[in-house]
Every structure is written in C-alpha cells, then in structure tokens.
Copies of this chain bind each other. A is one copy, B any other.
Amino acid sequence: MAKVSFPLSEVYCLIEPGPVILMTTVRNGKANIMAQSWHTMMEFEPPLMGCIVSDRNHSYSTLQATGECVINIPSVELAEKVVGCGNTTGAEIDKFEKFRLTPESAARVEAPLVKECFASLECKVVDTSMVDHYGLFVLEVVAAWLDHDMKNHETIHHLGHGNFMIAGRNIHLRSKAK
C-alpha cells in the first residue's frame, strides 16, 4: 500500500463531492489532525481550495503561523477515528497516537500525510484576507497523492448531529462540465 502522485488538474474530482477531510498541520514538531467539512474548490489549476477554520480550533493558529497543511481524505473504514479526531483537541492529546493514525512525510510541506487516508493533498496558504472575518483560508494544492491499492474510496459526508452519509453508487451522464 503506497500513495502515488496524482495530477493536480484532477484534484477537483476528489474535493467537489464534499467529503469530510482530515486537515493535518505541524508546529514545533507537534502534528495535529482536524476533521472538517467546510471546504470548496475555488480554481481548477493550479488547484485552489477554500477552507473554513474557526479560531476556536487548535489548528487555527498553526495554520496561520506555518501557512501549510495537508488535506487527507478518509474512507468509511476510518469513520470512528474521524469522529474521534472531531471530538478531541490537539491542545490536550496527540491525535496520531490516540487514534493510531500514521504520519508520513510530505514532499512540499512540513505537515504530515495521514497514511490510512486514500488521498492526501499538500497545501500552502496563499490568501489570508478573509481569515479574520470568516476563518476562510485560501489554499493552493502543491502536491497530490492517491493510493490506488486501497480499493474502497467510500467517502464520509457530514449531515450534522452525528449522522453521516456514506458515498453510494456512481452513475455516468453526458456532462460537458470538467
């Protein structure tokens, strides 16, 4: 099982469907994981994403200070760990240790990939002008990785109140969209 490079021009295919993601950051050797659903694509290439991170989150100050993160996409097998990450704070625990997730070195940023996630997007913060008002960080994806060996890419989608929708069947339609 190993991730291989994934084309930056195809990153939108991973983000547009709206999966819960695990955002990793690192500062002073301390890595953290945040579960997050408030994100959108903003540009195809270079791929830009908008992510809302509240100043109530432990990751907020690290993201501000380092300008780097990794967006990792978990499949349903990791659902309990994802919720565990959401229910705890990096101010108190090491989430990698607590939830037995494995940090892997990234190529372009200091923040680690989460090995157990089928996809990981290395990101640099490129615009903070909306951070004070909305907590909106504009991220450029500078490297992307996909694990083709992990057969199950059933993503998790937050419905609120502890309910999650799991990705179902796929259909193909004659769309002119990218």
Q: Taking beta carbons and an 8 Å cutoff, which residues of A are in contact with B?
A: 10, 12-13, 16-19, 35, 37-43, 48, 50, 52, 76, 79-80, 83, 86-87, 129-130, 134-136, 138, 154-155, 157-178
Contacts and interface: CB of A to CB of B under 8 A. Distances in A.
A70 B83 CA distance: 32
A168 B170 contact: no
A116 B50 CA distance: 30
A12 B157 CA distance: 12
B172 A158 contact: no
A56 B130 CA distance: 24
Given A13-B160, A87-B176, A164-B170, 6 more contacts: A37-B41, A43-B134, A86-B175, A86-B176, A157-B167, A159-B170
Copies in the complex: 2
Contacts of A172: 162-164
Contacts of A173: 79-80, 83, 162, 164
A167 B168 contact: yes
Given A42-B38, A136-B42, A165 B17 contact: yes
Contact of A174 (B154, B159, B162): B162
Given A86-B177, A168-B167, A16 B18 contact: yes
A37 to B, nearest CB: 5
Query: Taking each of A13, A39, A158, which has the highest tally of chain B beta carbons within 10 Å of its own beta carbon?
Result: A158
Contacts of A154: 168
